[in-house]
Chain A
Amino acid sequence: MSLKARIPYGTWGSSFFPAWQMSPLAEVNIGQFAGEAAGRILGKRKVPLTELEYMIIGSTIPWHYKFWTAPMVSSCMGVRLPGYHVEQACATGLQAVLLAGTEVSQGAYDAVCCLTFDRTSDSPVGVFPERRSYARTVGITDVWDNFGFDPATEKAMVTAAGLTARKYNITKKEVDEITAHRYKQYFDAKAKGFLDRCMVPLEVLNMQGRSMGVVDHDAGVREVSLSTLGAMRELDTCVTSGSQTHASDGIAVLLVTTIEKAKELSLRPEVQIEFVAKTEVRTLPSYMPEAPALAVRKLLSQTGLKMKDMAVVKNHNPFAVNDAIFSRLLEHDWHNVNNTGCPLVYGHPQGPTLTRVLIEALEEAVDLGGGYVLVFGCAAGDVGIAAVFKVS
């Protein structure tokens, strides 16, 4: 892959991910909000909007005016950019960044704004005329109905997690231990102020211009103990409400530029962030939790890199089962993954999830003095996606 594109250090940021229905984000047009918030975040990062040439937006849940895609969102940001919309379920946040890298590497643009967002709260309801259906007309609530029904397998996501846990003989005890550890990692990072470097608090206004509140934390995330997790009822094998993620709302933005532009815009020009490799796999029906591990295995074989080469390993893990399987397949200690938090804990707004994961991973790598950064995750349709970046 080895794209010529770079990610200028610090030209990124994410909103916090408040849980479903727990913040003013439940009441906004998330496309408009994302545009305005991105302008705010890039302003904080000293990136003038005039530097941007193109925009790739990523989201998975329909929003008002979606037809107008990136141009509309960029107008809300305060600049008129061309661009397009990309959607690949929970892989969206990483795929959008990788596509931005491709746009830059092709020489089409010097600076591409990658903006991902979703509002799971108050999911829109789609009404589809279906002549082959007994009901003739089918209504779908975009978030919950899709979680609960993979049309290719007729199974729910949670069923896939249980199935895969059984395939690998994962125990609930191990999953609970992973979950407890993930929460500890998140709250430790939060206490150290790590989140404050990646996240930007955003105040939301109502129609009258009055404050509806500030989105300044991952609302709904509470510390959880191993004993509490142990007491939770299994929804399927190894899956409890504690060891799976929750729906949330949020946005994340990140720039991809040429080498020269990165030096100009980076908050630390001496830091270089390169694209190294990317791959995707699709596993057997309803075995989605193993797909990210398979993707990583494929990526390592393609690049010749080893897990021990990775300075930072971070993933989108809607189920703690994913981490157990990854550990098993890659022979990598799950303790050394997701050092600063992960979607299992802070939630799952779909579109921006992996963008936030990437932002946190890059910040962590810079803290560590550089190295390879492995970011991966699963996506609807039993897909796994993985990418490696190099921070030097």
Chain B
Amino acid sequence: MPPEAGRNRVSPDRRQVNLAEKPETIVMIKSLRQSTLETLGLGSVLSIFKNGRLPVDTTEAVCRVFGGASERGSLVISGANGIVGAGKAMQLGSRLASFGVPVVALDFAGSPDGIGQKFAGLKNTFGTEGAARIMQNIIRLNYDGKNLPADLKNFRPRFLLEAVPEILEIKKAHYAIFRAAFPDIEIRSVTSGFPGAELGVGITHPAFPHEINKVWEVVEKTPSAVTQLFWALGMIPVCVSDHWSFVLDVLFCGLTLAGLRYHLNSNMPFWRIDKYIRKLLGPNPFRAHDAIGAKGANFLTWSCLHHLGKAYGGLFTPPEQLKNTVDGGQNWYPLNHFRPLVNWQLDPLEEQEFNTRILGPLYQMASLMLHENRAHYANMNIIGELCAQFRRGVLAEIRARGADAVIGTVTAYHKLEPQVAKSAWYPRVFDRMDTPEWQQLYVNAEHDGTVGVLTIGRESYNTDVDGELNRAIDWLKSERIQKVILCGDFHFSTQMVGADTSAFFPALKDESKGYEVSYQWSKTARRLNDEFKTSVGCVTGKRCLGGMLELMMHCHYLVAVSDCDLGMPEVTLPVIPGMEGCHWPFRRAHKKDWPRLVKLLLGGRFIKAKEATGWLVDDAGSLENTLKKVWRIAVGEDHGLALRPLNADPISGIPTDAACMAVADDPVTLAAQKAILDNIIASCGVTLNEAIDRQARHSAGFMSGDYCRGGAIGQQYAKTMKV
């Protein structure tokens, strides 16, 4: 929950679980806002660096949930052949196999083989042998719904993940038989709607697609060992409050309802509504239902809305047509032989009404969830992005529009749908939009009085992140912090994939917009170099690419885990790196390493961090060593690394020979390579002060040109925005 919004927090930072062998260091850490890691009982990000290790050791976390190696229990997934059960059997099974935790997949005899269907995906990811090994650890047992199989006890069930149908009585009866047989078993429901108070168990509600989506909405009074185990296994548990349908399903089902209501008012077909919603916000709610499996997904949506409607009134009450889709089980989209023939183009007035009918209820739902303190604001915001395809989280969207505009939209919506105005509308929650909880949805800052840490909780860089990063830097500066670490948040951003290319859409048509993005983002990145005595970029995820790598390389030191992928894939889109990637690394690298940089920029291929040591990163090692090294650099202890100086003068002699270039054979890539090389030569050929403008002009010029418009970004723009 957001604590005392609007005030910076000062708290003793300690790990909530006593896993460490040595006593914790207790230090006073001040933060711009509460870190989301703290909501999991895992302390602050700064403490990770201070302690030189992650707050939870995976093996210990496994032992706490499943017992020690000699008495290892099992995970039971009931409803294991269903969409959720099968997906989670794959996801958890692949992670737990190496710890010797068997996964018991329990379902009715004769239920369709959901697990078997997942094998192909498993094989693609882990190879035939790896997949077989994981499957060997999945034990399939049948039961009749009333009596547990006798063999089950042999596997010492310690944790039940229940994924049975969304019928309260069935679920409760299911828990009862497990508790009778295994009194100490931990139970979590994957329910998409029922609060834990109704079920009598904790909730771990996953998001589609279940075999790969790592987000779980977690409902529990205090963070449990199960939740911390999930985090340690690489999942993204997100704490939410114990209210009907949590956060994801309020947003997802609510958006579906908004679309359905628009259909009922306009007759617009669902496939077309999806396109306009995608243009407006990002998701395709109806397509998503079909992709998940319309019959089951429609029931879940109806069930959520039905219960939400009872609890909150007209805002959520599902229309009869939704029930019909549940009973009929038909897809929302037409069948292939009826692919749509008639286009639906909205005129500006119609589109305005459409936007009101979609955004109005969305804002109103957000007001309800904020009023109920359903989650840390960053949690609430990111769920939409990670689980429901929102281009920008709902709170970020609201923040960008401003309180008055948001309230105006909801008021206009109430005129169109008067029945929803009667309840669940809390406009006062938008009064506090200037507080850090609202202003720092993606970027947080912490410090201990000496060292600050800037954490980015989003995998791709966009204008929201840029604004927040500037505010976070301002805050650290105002706190007189001179040493800073830049890193992910160890929660939402498990990797750093680069710029959010949707931020470039305006630049496709207007060169000045491209310049603005490139120049502003570069200016922000330079602050890491210019405004701190010491700045250290720390890359701990799977990859750090494009714009995020450009941002990181602006730090005085860059340290990464050795098997992390680094790369500049812009050439493949194509777009020109516009956050100073075309000159900054050259100014910090020895001339002999320039061919590698040219190859990195022109080839678009990834390299491991350990291969880039000395010319792109300053050090690469194990996670623990990386954390320790970063801390030593930050506090000024002996770290053994020489600072690579930044050459502010014009530099020349950039290698242009084919030997160091990965020359492409298609004209688009060739053109992009030429444009990138031109930018390298041009921006290196001027002083550091001049380079920011020079490279931004090159980048903007290319973005508004034919190659970029015809490339991946242009296609993405056309698909999304040209409705």
A244 interface residue per 8 A CB criterion:
no
Ordered by A's residue number, 25 sampled pairs between the chains whose C-beta atoms are within 8 Å are A33-B342, A36-B341, A37-B342, A39-B267, A39-B342, A40-B342, A43-B266, A43-B344, A48-B264, A48-B267, A49-B267, A50-B264, A76-B334, A77-B267, A78-B267, A80-B328, A202-B343, A203-B343, A203-B345, A204-B341, A204-B343, A205-B339, A205-B343, A207-B339, A211-B343
For the complex, what is the distance from the CA of A40 to the CA of B350, rounded to whole Å? 13
A209 interface residue per 8 A CB criterion:
yes
Secondary structure of the B contact surface, majority rule: loop
- CB of A40 within 8 A of CB of B344, answer yes
B340 interface residue per 8 A CB criterion:
yes
Question: Which of A42, A47, A48, A204 is the one whose CB lies under 8 Å from B342?
Answer: A204
Extra contacts, 11 of them, besides A29-B341, A209-B339, A211-B343 (Cβ < 8 A), are A32-B341, A37-B342, A39-B267, A43-B267, A43-B344, A49-B264, A49-B267, A78-B269, A203-B342, A204-B341, A209-B340
Interface size class of B (residues with CB under 8 A): 10 to 19
**How many of chain A's residues have a CB under 8 angstroms from any CB in B?**
25
- CB of A40 within 8 A of CB of B267, answer yes
For the complex, what is the distance from the CA of A211 to the CA of B340, rounded to whole Å? 11
- CB of A43 within 8 A of CB of B343, answer no
A307 interface residue per 8 A CB criterion:
no
For the complex, what is the distance from the CA of A207 to the CA of B339, rounded to whole Å? 6
- CB of A36 within 8 A of CB of B265, answer no
Q: Which residues of B contact A209 (CB under 8 A)?
A: 339-340
Nearest chain B residue, comparing its CB with the CB of A30: B341
User: 1/0 contact trace for B46-81 toward A, CB 8 Å?
Assistant: 000000000000000000000000000000000000
A28 interface residue per 8 A CB criterion:
yes
Nearest chain B CB to A45's CB is how many angstroms away?
Answer: 10
B128 interface residue per 8 A CB criterion:
no
- CB of B341 within 8 A of CB of A33, answer yes
Q: Which residues of B contact A32 (CB under 8 A)?
A: 338, 341
- CB of B263 within 8 A of CB of A78, answer yes
- CB of A36 within 8 A of CB of B345, answer no
Q: Which residues of A contact B338 (CB under 8 A)?
A: 32, 76
User: 1/0 contact trace for B323-349 toward A, CB 8 Å?
Assistant: 000001000001000111111110000
For the complex, what is the distance from the CA of A119 to the CA of B344, rounded to whole Å? 21
Question: Which of A39, A47, A80, A203 is the one whose CB lies under 8 Å from B269?
Answer: A39
For the complex, what is the distance from the CA of A76 to the CA of B339, rounded to whole Å? 10
For the complex, what is the distance from the CA of A40 to the CA of B344, rounded to whole Å? 7
Question: Which of B263, B265, B268, B342 is the one whose CB lies under 8 Å from A205?
Answer: B342
Nearest chain A CB to B522's CB is how many angstroms away?
Answer: 38
Of A28, A37, A205, A211, chain B has the most CB atoms within 10 Å of the CB of: A205
Nearest chain A residue, comparing its CB with the CB of B320: A50
Nearest chain B CB to A132's CB is how many angstroms away?
Answer: 37
Q: Which residues of B contact A76 (CB under 8 A)?
A: 334, 338
For the complex, what is the distance from the CA of A37 to the CA of B268, rounded to whole Å? 10
B321 interface residue per 8 A CB criterion:
yes
For the complex, what is the distance from the CA of A161 to the CA of B339, rounded to whole Å? 42
For the complex, what is the distance from the CA of A202 to the CA of B341, rounded to whole Å? 10
Nearest chain B residue, comparing its CB with the CB of A33: B341
Q: Which residues of B contact A36 (CB under 8 A)?
A: 269, 340-342
For the complex, what is the distance from the CA of A43 to the CA of B266, rounded to whole Å? 5
Nearest chain B CB to A265's CB is how many angstroms away?
Answer: 13
Question: Which of B268, B328, B340, B341 is the one whose CB lies under 8 Å from A43?
Answer: B268
User: 1/0 contact trace for B261-286 toward A, CB 8 Å?
Assistant: 00111111100000000000000000
5 nearest CB pairs, A to B: A43-B267, A203-B343, A36-B342, A39-B267, A43-B266
Q: Which residues of A contact B339 (CB under 8 A)?
A: 205, 207, 209
For the complex, what is the distance from the CA of A204 to the CA of B339, rounded to whole Å? 11
Nearest chain A CB to B276's CB is how many angstroms away?
Answer: 13
Q: Which residues of A contact B266 (CB under 8 A)?
A: 43
For the complex, what is the distance from the CA of A203 to the CA of B334, rounded to whole Å? 18
Q: Which residues of B contact A50 (CB under 8 A)?
A: 264, 321
